[in-house]
Amino acid sequence: MATKKTISAREALKDVLKYSFGEFVRDIRECDEITQTELAKRMRVSRQFINAVEKDKANVSLEMAIKIANALEYPYEAFVEICLNDMLRKSGIKKVVHLETKAA
């Protein structure tokens, strides 16, 4: 019988900027004990799409990053930031994006 890998949310977010977007989604989903199937149902996409996202085989837009955050019931800002930084890293651009809340 396989043992289930569980990690704390704190561990999942450690060195978060080194994560690919797919790794981040997978770790958050697993920490919250949500299956790929359940996440797919919440988003109205296929489980195969969620699997492709988590394996970094799907191109994820910022809109999709926000949709994933909403489905997992998290604020979207971290998902957008990690998605943008993953896009930069994959493009070979050695820059990091940090989002800041704009004062009113």
State the burial class of residue 39 (Cβ atoms within 10 Å of its Cβ: 0-12, 13-18, 19+). buried
Chain length of the chain: 104
How far apart CA 79 and CA 43 sit, in angstroms, is 15
How does pLDDT run across 44-84, given as a tens digit for each residue? 999 999 999 999 999 999 999 999 999 999 999 999 999 99
Q: What pLDDT, on a 0 to 100 scale, did the predictor assign at position 102?
A: 83
pTM: 0.81
